[in-house]
């Protein structure tokens, strides 16, 4: 079994509850293309329900023989991002990432270094912000026979203090996963469950309790149904009565349409509902 990263212990349920719901943006467009020399280009654009728009242009070059990937992006906030990845180049199981960003308008810049080390029963990561702080965030996950145990901590070099801490336990099987995670210095607790019922149906749920905010527990449940080989539908609802539905269909090879909507079931007579669309073109 592959050991997930700390942030991916509840990935199956998180993806079911958050991915492929298109109501969050009024409209979204994504164009993807890969050249024969392994350069992948991506252009994305989004329009929010408030009328604001954003976009991103990205180019990624991958040299599989050396395990090197270089990514350069530029977005409409006028931020230039550069990332260099070295996978299994320095040592077997180690991926190193070096990231830099630059804001031409203000001349501000940032620099980060990330390291991922993965073995059969271990997955560790270290994230360093070399400019702000500096700060370091480290997390590890160990696993055996489907059982997972993980922890993470953040450290501020200038303050010489641990700033954040988290713990997690989980269990992963081919058809279902379960996890309990404590974050924000062990003050926010979440429990998640995912089940692949059969080839057509997936279901999941997540509950969250912030011990500093009171006794209220948030709950969200979702389900996905594959209608046929090229389309699926999703639905979710939370404890506040907000429901969302989504439909995804492959119109033709390389062209995907997504439709989504959310409704506040307790305020059906008010204009709180949202509708969104998404087009993805890939060549």
Domain architecture of the chain: domains with CATH: 6-282 (2.40.160.10)
For the stretch 261-281, pLDDT in tens is 999 988 877 878 999 999 999
pLDDT above 90 as % of the chain? 88
More confident residue, 283 or 255: 255
Average pLDDT over all residues of the chain? 95
At 8, is the pLDDT very low, low, confident or very high (cuts 50, 70, 90)?
Answer: very high
Q: Is the pLDDT of residue 1 over 70?
A: no
pLDDT above 70 as % of the chain? 100
d(CA 220, CA 153): 27
- Other C-beta atoms closer than 10 Å to the C-beta of 121 total 12
What is the pLDDT averaged over residues 84-89? 95
More confident residue, 270 or 86: 86
d(CA 126, CA 26): 36
Q: In the chain, what is the greatest distance between 2 CA atoms, to the nearest angstrom?
A: 60
What is the pLDDT averaged over residues 103-128? 96
């Amino acid at each position: 079994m592959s050991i997930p990263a700390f942030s991916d212990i509840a990935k199956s349920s998180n993806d079911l509850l958050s991915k492929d719901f298109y109501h969050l943006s009024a409209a979204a467009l994504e164009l993807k293309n890969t050249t024969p020399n392994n350069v992948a280009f991506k252009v994305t654009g989004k329009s929010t329900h408030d009328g604001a728009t954003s976009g991103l242009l990205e180019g990624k070059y991958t040299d599989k023989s050396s395990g090197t990937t270089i990514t350069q992006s530029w977005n409409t906030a006028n931020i230039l991002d550069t990332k260099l990845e070295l996978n299994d180049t320095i040592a077997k199981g180690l991926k190193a990432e070096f990231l830099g960003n630059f804001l031409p308008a203000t001349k501000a810049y940032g620099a980060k270094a990330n390291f991922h080390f993965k073995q059969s029963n271990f997955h560790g990561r270290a994230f360093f912000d070399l400019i702000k702080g500096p700060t370091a965030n480290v997390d590890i996950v160990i696993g055996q026979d489907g059982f997972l145990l993980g922890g993470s901590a953040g450290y501020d070099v200038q303050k010489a203090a641990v700033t954040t801490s988290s713990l997690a336990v989980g269990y992963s099987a081919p058809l279902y996963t379960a996890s309990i995670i404590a974050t924000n210095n062990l003050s926010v607790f979440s429990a998640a469950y995912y089940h692949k019922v059969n080839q057509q149906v997936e279901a999941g749920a997540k509950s969250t309790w912030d011990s500093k905010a009171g006794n209220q527990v948030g709950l969200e449940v979702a389900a996905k149904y594959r209608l046929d080989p090229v389309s699926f539908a999703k639905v979710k609802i939370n404890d506040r009565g907000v429901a969302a539905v989504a439909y995804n269909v492959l119109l033709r090879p390389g062209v995907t349409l997504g439709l989504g909507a959310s409704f506040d079931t307790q305020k059906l007579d008010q204009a709180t509902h949202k509708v969104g669309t998404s087009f993805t073109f890939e060549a």
